[in-house]
Amino acid sequence: MRGVNEKAAAGKLTFPPLPLHTTQALRRTPLNRAFALVYSCAVLALFYRHFHSSISFFSILLIVADAVFAFMRATTESLRLCPVLHREFPEKLRRAVLVEGAEEEEMERDYDPPGVDVLICTADPYKEPPMGVVNTALSVLGYEYPAEKLAVYVSDDGGSELTLFAFMKAAKFARQWLPFCRDYGLLDRSPDVYFGSGSTHTFPEEAHNIKMMYEEIKVKVERVMEKGFVPPEEYVMNEHEHEAFNKWRTPRFTRQDHSVVIQVLLESGKNKDVKGHRMPNLVYVSREKSRNSPHHFKAGALNALLRVSATMTNAPVVLNLDCDTYSNDPETLLRVLCYLADPSIGPKLAYIQFPQRFHSIGKNDIYGNDHRRLYQIDPPGMDGLAGTRYIGSGCFFQRRSFFGGPSSFPSSDIPLVLNLSHHDLDKSISSKTVLASAHHVASCNYEHETKWGIEMGFRYGSLTEDYKTSYLQQCKGWNAVFCHPKRAAFLGGSPFTLNDVLSQNIRWSIGLLEVAISKYSPITFGTRAMGLLMGLAYAHNGFEATWCLPITTYAYIPQLALLNGVSMFPKVSDPWFYLYAFLFLGAYVQDCLEFILAGGTTRKWWNDQRMWMIRGNSSYLFGSTTYLLKLLGFPASGFNVTSKVVTGEQMKRYEQSIFEFGVASTLFVPLTTTAIVNLIAFVVGLAGVFRHGNTGEMFVQLFISGFVMVNCWPIYEAIALRKDDGKMPAKITMISILLAWLLYLASSLALKL
C-alpha cells in the first residue's frame, strides 16, 4: 500500500468514498443474553441436585458428563453475547478499480488495488481429480480484477505429472475462456459449472465452440488418468513441455521423494489471451519431498507456496482455497477491498474469511455437511469480539500477518528474497534468477533452524493448521472479519458417504485437541492474550471432541440402568423433573431457531442434530481416543485426504437421503451398538412400566431411549430392511450385538458392587 499512498499524495490517485462497509448488531442479542443468564442458573441448579443426591457409579458418570456439557455450553454462550453482521458496498470500488473498454497498458484507475496471490493445494490426483482443481484455478483466474495484479499458485503435494498435464492444457484453454467470461459477464467462471448449468443457450455459437474445447481437454486428461502417466506423444512436439515431464522419467522421482518442480504456465507480462489482453500469472509448484524430512502436511505445502509466491509476485494479499472450492462471484475481490482499503481497520486486519458453502449438498443434507453452525452461525459471534477464525478455505490474508504482529514486522528474521520491502517487481517470474530463488525456498532444507511454522507462516503442530494459524495470529493482536454476502463467494464439494464424513471429522478432532490441550490452550494462553470471551470462543472449537463424553454417556448409562430396573432421574411429579425438561427443551429449541434464522429448514436441522449425536458417538470418540494414545506415545493417524470421488449408486442414494454404510468401518460399531442397546432398553423398560406401573419413575429414561431410537432409525433400516450395497455389513452388526451384551453384563456387575 506504500506505493499507493505515494501516488495519492502526488495527486494521481484518490481513495473511494467511505464508508465501504457497515456493521450491525443482531436484534436477538438482548434475548440471547437474557436466556444465557436463565439457562446458566438452571445448570447451577442441576449441579446442586447432583451433589445433594446419593452417589453411585452411574451417577458419577452423569456428573462428569454434565460437567463437560456445562463447559461446552459456556463456550457456546460466548458466541451469542455480541454477534454482528457486516455489509459491504463493492459498487463504490468498481469504478475506481475496474476500467472497462480501455487497453490495459493505458488504464488510469482512481485507486491502485493491491496484488493478490491465490494459493491452491492438492495432494492426490485420484482422490482430488485434476479437472476439479483446474476448474477452481480457472474460476479465480477469471476474477474481475486487473490481470497484472493477480497470480494463481497450485501446490501439487502428490508430485503428479497428471496434475501438471491437466494444468498445461488448462493454461491454453484459459486464453479462450477468460475473454469469453469477461465479454459476456459470466457469474459462473468455473467451466464445469457454467456448461453444466444449461446457460450456453444464451450465447449458442461461441459457447458451443468453447465447450467443445473444454470437453476435448477433459477427454485428454481422463485418458492419461487411465494410463497413470503422460505418454510422450502428448508433449513430444513441445520442447518446453518435454523438459518438464522429463523430471518424472528419472528413477529417483517418487511421490514421497523428489526434487522441486516449478513450472510457469502463464506469465502476465508475456502471455495474452485471444483478444490481446494480459493474463494473470499461473504457476505449478511441487515442493521437494524427502523421506528424511518432515513435510507438515497441508501447512507445509501452504508455507512452500507462501515463499515461492513471495519470490515471484509477492502480492500483499493472499487467498487460500481448497482444490475443490471454486469462485462463485467474480467481484469477490471488491468486497475484500472494502475492508482492506478502510484506514480505520485495514492496518490491523489479518484476514477476511468467507463462509464455506457447498454446491453438492443434498436436499435434506443427511450428513450435516453444510456445517451451518460452524460456517454461518458461530462466525458472527466471534466477529463481534475480535473477528472470526480462519476455516481452511475462502480466506484472504494480508501477507504481513504471517510474519509478526500488526504493530511490528521482524524483517531481520526474514531472508532478503522474502522481505516485503525488498522485491524487484519488474523482473520476469520465469527468469533464471527468480526461478532459482523459488526452487531454493521450496526445498526440504530451507526451513531447517528457522521459525517457519512456529512464528512465521501457517503453523505446524496440528492437523488443523487453519485453527492454529488464526488463533495465534489473533493472540498477537490481529483482527479479522467475517464476510457473508447473499451470493456465495465460493462453493466447494463435500463427502457423499458417512464413512468419509466421519473420517474427516476424526482428523479435525485430533487437530483441534492438539492445540486445545497444549501450552497454547485457549483456556489459559488464549484468555490471557485475547480476553475471556475470545478464549472461550476458540475453546468452543478446540474442545469440540469432548462432546463425546456427554453424548456417549447419555447414549448408554440411562439405558443400562433401565435394563437393570434402576431409576436415575426424578419422577414426573417431582419439581426437579421440570429442571431437566427445561434444560433439554431450552437447548434444542434455541438451537433449532438459530438454525432456521440462518436459512436452514426444520428437516435439515433435525438431520444436523442427529449428525451431532453420530459424530459424538463415533468420530469425536475415536478422535479423542487417538489423541490420548498419541500423548501416551502410541502411533497416531496422520493427514488423510478426503476422497472427492463417488460412484453413481452412492450418489443416487445420497440424493434420495439414504445413509451409506456399505463398508465394514470400525466407526459404525459404536453407532450400531448404541442403536441395539437403546432398542432393547426401550422395549424392556416399556414392558416393566406395564408390569409395575412405574411410568412416572422411569419416564425420563424411557424418553431418552426413545429419542435416541428415533435418531437411530437409519441404522435400524440399514441392519434389517435394506438390500442394497449401502446396507450395514453383517460383521458390524454381530460385533455390536456382542458389545451390547458385554455392556449389559458390565453394568449389572457394577451395580452389584
Catalytic positions, written as ranges: 157, 466
Look at residues 676, 619, 624 and name the one whose alpha carbon lies nearest to residue 642. 619
Distance CA 470, CA 468 (A): 6
User: Do 470 and 383 form a contact (C-beta atoms < 8 A)?
Assistant: no
Look at residues 597, 594, 512, 606 and name the one whose alpha carbon lies nearest to residue 80. 594
Q: What is the three-class DSSP state of 322?
A: strand
Contacts of residue 50, Cβ cutoff 8 Å, sequence gap at least 6: 59, 62, 63, 66
Distance CA 325, CA 397 (A): 17
Residue 667 in grid coordinates? 466407526
Q: What is the three-class DSSP state of 351?
A: strand
DSSP letter string, 301-320: HHHHHHHHHHHHT--SEEEE
Distance CA 373, CA 381 (A): 11
Q: What is the three-class DSSP state of 505?
A: helix
Residue 148 in grid coordinates? 497484472
Cα of first residue to Cα of last residue in the chain, in angstroms, is: 72
Q: Cell 496484488 identifies what position? A: 115
Distance CA 188, CA 371 (A): 24
Q: At what angle do helices 498-516 and 465-475 cross, to 10 degrees?
A: 30
Q: At what angle do helices 498-516 and 532-542 cross, to 10 degrees?
A: 140
Type of residue at 175: R
Q: What is the DSSP letter of 278?
A: B
Q: What is the DSSP letter of 348?
A: G
User: Do 207 and 200 form a contact (C-beta atoms < 8 A)?
Assistant: yes
